[in-house]
Structures are given as C-alpha cells and as structure tokens.
Amino acid sequence: MKSFIKPIFPTILAALATLSAPVNAQATSFQNKGSVANYKNYKDTHVNERHLIPDDSSNDTHANLEAHVAARVPSSTMGVTQTTSNYKDTHDNESKLTSKNASNDTHTNRDVSAHSNEISPTLTQVSYTALGVLPTSQVPYSALGVLPTSEHDTQFNYGDDPLQIVYVWHGRGGVENEFAGNAVIFVHGGCWLNAYGYDHAKGFYHALAELGMGVYAMEYRRVGDKGGGWPGSLEDVTRAVKASIETIEATGDNRNIYLVGHSAGGHLGLLAAQQLSSSEVSKGIKKVIGLAAITNMKSYALGENSCQTATPKFMGGMPNENEREYQIASPDVAKIKSSVILLQGNEDSIVPEHHATMPGAKNRIITNGGHFDWLHPESTSFDALLEVLGQHDK
C-alpha cells in the first residue's frame, strides 16, 4: 500500500493547488478595500479619469472615491427623504421600469448580491451584473466606465467650436413604454474642468434611451478650453439648451422636455434655465432637475475637496476677489419659470447636502446616496430620478 501512495501523492498535491488557485485569486481581489495607494497605481480604462489623480491625494475626495464604497444596505433601509413640507414621497426603492424586453433588464436582479461591501478597484473592469455585485448607493466613479453603452444616433452643432456639439440618443422600446415621449437635455458635470467630458455618463444616456427617452447630451467648453470657464461655459450651455429644445420641438417626437444637470452641470443647467426664462423657448421645459447640483458658489469655493478647490479656477478668483460675479453665478429659483426639483444624496462627499435647499425648489434627499449614484442605473438614486421623470401630470 505504501508503494502505491508514494508515487501518487505529489500528483494529488498538484491537483489541489490547481483547484485552489482561482479561489485564492478571487479572495485576493476582494481583500483590497480601495486604498488610495492602490487606486493611484491602478490602471483604469476610463480615459477621463486617468489624469485626475493628483500627486498628493490624501485629502482629495476624487482620489478617495473608491474608499467610500459602503456596505450594501438592505432595500428596506434605503429610501428617499422628502424635505418639502407639502409633498408626499412614494419612493419604494424599486424602479417602475417597463422595458420592451424585461428578460434582459438587470434591474430585476438588484438584490442578488451579498458582496457589494467587498467591491475593490480590481472589479471595475468586470461587469457588476456578471459578478452579481450590484451597487445601490455610494457608486464609485470608476463603476461608470464599465456600464453598457451605445453610440449616439445623431448629433448637431450649436456653434463653430468643435466642443459646441450635442449628441442625441433616440428612445427605444416603442410608444407603449412608460417613458416614451420624454426628452432629457443633459448637462454633464466634472468640476467645470475639461478633464471630464460628456462621455463619462454614456452608460446613463444608454439606460435612459433603453427606457424610451430621447437624450440630448451636450458638450461645452470648460476650464482648460479656450473660451471656457466663467462665463463662457454658461454661454455654451445656454445656447445648447436652446438649440436642443428647438430641435426637439421641430421633430414633434417628445411631449415632455426635462433639463437635467449633474454636479457642476446641474449648476450650469439651473443658470441656463434662468437665462432662458425671458424667452419663448423656456415654455418647452417641463421641469429643471438638479442632480447633486452646486447651487451656492461662494460657500462651495471655500471648501477643500478637489471639486471645491476648482471653483476659483472656474470663476477666475476667490469670492472676496470677485464677489459680484459669485452672486450672479449662484442660481435663483425665483427667476426660473419652470418648476425646479433638486435631488441629493445625504452622504455625497463632493457636493454637501445643503446645496439642495433653495427657496422655491422642491427637493428629495436620498438616504446614503453618493455623488455618482445618479449616473448608475442600478442605484436607488437613479430610481428616484425615474420617478420624477415619470410624473407626467405633476
């Protein structure tokens, strides 16, 4: 018997080592919780993120975004807090999606994961759905780069500069879709800097189009571009919104037009709506929606995170150096004809919650909501946005 065991023992050990290798690799991939050091060394395939990590990022909220990925909170504890006194919120954390092919809708798989608290940067190159790891809140920026996307259907220019362009996704799914007839004019964020382009939200545009909505995603000149910054960026956004409304109304395909902006794009979207309120074209805007919109430029410029410190670059100085321009650059809801709603996560590390409290605006505060959740179709925040877009008669 000993003579039989001796020659096959090394073979057994080799087989066991081979079987354990994938398990060890999987365990290793979950061990790193997204430390700043690892994030700085990680090669992300998202072209707009590679050059945004400063040498000293210990206090930079963009560099530390991966570290903010929180443990998954059960659906029963996730929610939306309505802070407008006379508004009843019916958000139940489940989207009312009615896509043409429901079998391919990843929203139905929202609760399959028990491991989203283990997300590390090494997972950003792999589909969340394939792994069964679906975030509901505190989505990292890098997660946006692995979402399903589709190329725009058409485009048009609103000026002579190559950046003065609007990309259009037509709604899919047919007229029976709940969201058919809606058009979203979208102003992307990115701290007003040209390091962030419209393309970081392509998964967001694709998701809205799959739900039946037309999407008009503008590009515009930002800090670092000739003519960008204040007030050039606002001038571009205002022209893009006007051109988009005119294009939408000319086709007659969309009966509800929503102007939506995220972060710095939310700031510019609100100001554009304010600028257009004296023109006939503003009548076409059903609602202006700010997603983590920056609404108080003076207080934002005094903050210390990476986006806040970009504010003086956009404005051309600090508030005490340019007080009048800072006042003009802060939106005033009373000067916007369309109804305004501000959607905000209460755990947003880039735009503080108080930016969602503006006189005259409704708001919704998302429990445990992060900054980039709005752009991820598997998040609670995205579901809250869909509720607002689905309220045709409100």
Domain map (residue ranges) of the chain:
1-31, 75-389
The length of the chain, given as a count of residues: 394
| Cα–Cα–Cα angle for 266, 267, 271, rounded to 5 degrees | 110
Confidence of residue 193 (pLDDT cuts 50, 70, 90): very high
The span from the CA of 181 to the CA of 183, in Å, is 7
Confidence of residue 369 (pLDDT cuts 50, 70, 90): very high
Q: Which of 20-29, 174-183, 316-325, 365-374 has the lowest mean pLDDT?
A: 20-29
- Cβ–Cβ < 8 Å for 362, 342: yes
**pTM of the prediction?**
0.69
Query: What is the pLDDT at residue 88?
Result: 32
Pairing, β 339-345 against β 182-187: unpaired
What's the pLDDT tens digit per position in 11-58?
444 444 444 444 333 333 323 333 222 322 323 333 333 233 333 333
* Average pLDDT of every residue of the chain: 75
- CATH architecture under which domain 75-389 falls: 3-Layer(aba) Sandwich (3.40)
Q: Is the omega angle on the peptide bond into residue 359 within 30 degrees of 0, that is, cis?
A: no
Q: Which residue has the tokens 């990476």?
A: 306
What's the pLDDT tens digit per position in 149-176?
999 999 999 999 999 999 999 998 776 7
Q: Provide CB contacts within 8 A for 361, sequence distance 6+.
A: 290, 333, 340, 341, 342
Which stretches of 346-394 are assigned E, i.e. beta strand? 362-366
Query: What is the pLDDT at residue 102?
Result: 35
**Two tokens, residue 328:** 């003009």
Question: Is pLDDT above 50 for 96?
Answer: no
Edge-to-edge strands, sheet with 285-291:
80-82, 362-366, 339-345, 285-291, 256-262, 182-187, 214-219, 165-169, 154-157
